[in-house]
């Protein structure tokens, strides 16, 4: 597997992987701007802009944008995260110029009319309301806002009803000037393409994108708050997140951290799934997940259960964590976790979309691209010593955050006492 990286005079980075045995090409425009870059009074503006660029340009209506991609059997979409926004397309390689044309048109020539802005405010408010009605989803946002208190990493990507309704066209244009810059962007391309063809298309459609701006875009590293927070909500189940300080994206021990996550709650064979669901039958859903940002990270465990079983579920989880700290892992567990990680990684990289995504995110956030072999080698390098060190580093009951959402009974007051 060979990657090529091109840097245009305006600072825009293009990363390309030729995959000659497929017929498709996936193209992603990755911008290092997300909810972390927002001011409190404009929470949700990153996601709002992501919606608005699909609403029409000087050359294309919203319907035209949708039809031109649909007419060639392609896909066009976008997403907003905490630290980046991505606009991407997947088409047959014979239509890759159309994808470049549409993506550049959306980014540079969107009209952001007041009429469309007002319409989209209502759409996004309905999206927020839908999300609020999904407690197993919203609990993660509440948890993040508690842990990253008063820091943009704790802002919900969607924003909230109050801030979304205040967004104006001038706010959008100012945010674009500050964040949608070529030196703050990576275009990632994977598929049946030739390097020289992509370079020509990038120059044709993106070389006029402003001048390089060396203005630094940054927010201070967050301080983490570890406490128990309970939010009452009329739900059938009680949902909770329990978490510890994790690792940032560039930490040298990242793969040991990821291995710990898989061991705890990364699949149906994980310790928590087997103990809490399969053996005790206390939950339907339980899992863990890592969150890694440029200067901080979290390890989080989620579960949903009935209010009457909440204490027992948390006691069981903390009991498993204590056992892990006391007795460590077996050689068999270590081997299984590493094989699981390698298998998941290889299977995830079989499509052009996933390979485009891996390259784009890695170049944007880490400044380099890891080959598949380098990733597999990093997984193989995890050993008993490094995993044991990670267990001691991460599982710290004195710094554990708990967020509980649901119809919680009085017994939940004993939760803080379960933390040690």
pLDDT, tens only, 223-250 = 999 999 999 999 999 999 999 999 999 9
Count, in order, helices (H) and strands (E) of the chain.
15, 11
Residues in the chain: 420
- pLDDT (mean) for 42-48: 98
Is residue 390 a contact partner of residue 261, using CB atoms and an 8 Å limit?
no
The larger pLDDT score, comparing residue 276 to residue 212, is at 276
Question: What pLDDT does 401 receive?
Answer: 98
Q: Phi then psi for 82, rounded to 5 degrees?
A: -70, -40
Question: What pLDDT does 116 receive?
Answer: 97
List the alpha helices (DSSP H) in 167-299.
Answer: 169-179, 195-206, 254-265, 271-272
> What three-state secondary structure class fits 327?
helix
Is residue 264 a contact partner of residue 288, using CB atoms and an 8 Å limit?
yes
Would you state the structure tokens that stand for residue 413, as one six-digit string?
Answer: 């007051």
Is residue 408 a contact partner of residue 308, using CB atoms and an 8 Å limit?
no
Distance CA 412, CA 404 (A): 9
Q: Is the pLDDT of residue 383 over 50?
A: yes
Packing angle, helices 384-394 and 254-265, rounded to 10: 80
Partner residues linked to 405 by β-bridges: 231, 239
- Return the residue matching tokens 């309970």: 230
Q: Is the pLDDT of residue 358 over 90?
A: yes
Would you state the structure tokens that stand for residue 60, as one six-digit string?
Answer: 């294309």
Angle at the Cα of 38 from the Cα atoms of 55 and 6, rounded to 5 degrees = 70
Question: What pLDDT does 220 receive?
Answer: 83
Distance CA 388, CA 371 (A): 27
> What three-state secondary structure class fits 75?
strand
pTM, entire model: 0.94
Catalytic residues: 50
Question: What pLDDT does 365 receive?
Answer: 95
**Where residue 419 falls among pLDDT bands split at 50, 70, 90?**
very low
pLDDT digits (tens, 9 = 90+) for 346-357: 999 999 999 999
Q: Please provide the average confidence, as pLDDT, over all residues in the chain.
A: 95
Distance CA 280, CA 119 (A): 49
């Amino acid at each position: 597997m060979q990657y090529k990286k091109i840097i245009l005079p305006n600072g825009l980075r293009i990363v390309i992987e030729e995959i000659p045995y497929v017929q498709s090409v996936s193209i992603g425009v990755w911008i290092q701007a997300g909810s972390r870059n927002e001011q409190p009074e404009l929470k949700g503006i990153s996601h709002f802009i992501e919606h608005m660029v699909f609403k029409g340009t000087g050359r294309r209506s919203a319907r035209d944008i949708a039809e031109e991609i649909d007419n060639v059997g392609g896909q066009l979409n976008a997403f907003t995260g905490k630290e980046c926004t991505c606009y991407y397309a997947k088409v047959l390689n014979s239509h890759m110029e159309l994808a470049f044309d549409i993506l550049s048109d959306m980014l540079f020539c969107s009209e952001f009319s007041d009429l469309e802005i007002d319409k989209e405010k209502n759409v996004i408010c309905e999206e927020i309301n839908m999300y609020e009605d999904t407690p197993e989803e919203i609990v993660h946002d509440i948890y993040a806002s508690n842990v990253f208190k008063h820091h943009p990493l704790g802002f919900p990507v969607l924003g909230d009803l109050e801030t979304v309704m205040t967004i104006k066209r001038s706010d959008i244009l100012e945010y674009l000037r500050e964040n949608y810059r070529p030196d703050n962007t990576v275009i990632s391309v994977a598929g049946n393409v030739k390097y020289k063809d992509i370079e020509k298309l990038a120059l044709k459609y993106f070389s006029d994108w402003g001048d390089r701006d060396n203005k630094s875009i940054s927010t201070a590293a967050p301080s983490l708050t570890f406490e128990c927070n309970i939010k009452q909500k009329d739900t059938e189940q009680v949902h909770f997140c329990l978490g510890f300080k994790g690792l940032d994206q560039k930490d040298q021990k990242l793969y040991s951290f990821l291995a710990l996550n898989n061991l705890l709650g990364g699949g149906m064979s994980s310790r928590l799934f087997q103990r809490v669901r399969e053996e005790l039958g206390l939950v339907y859903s339980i899992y863990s997940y890592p969150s890694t940002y440029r200067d901080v990270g979290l390890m989080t465990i989620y579960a949903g259960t009935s209010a009457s079983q909440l204490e027992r579920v948390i006691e069981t989880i903390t009991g498993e964590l204590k056992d892990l700290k006391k007795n460590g892992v077996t050689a068999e567990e270590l081997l299984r976790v590493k094989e699981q990680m390698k298998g998941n990684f290889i299977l995830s990289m079989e499509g052009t979309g996933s390979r485009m995504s891996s390259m784009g995110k890695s170049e944007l956030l880490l400044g380099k691209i890891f080959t598949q072999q380098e990733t597999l080698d990093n997984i193989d390098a995890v050993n008993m010593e490094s995993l044991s060190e990670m267990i001691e580093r991460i599982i710290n009951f004195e710094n554990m955050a708990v967020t509980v959402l649901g119809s919680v009974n009085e017994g939940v007051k004993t939760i803080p006492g379960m933390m040690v």
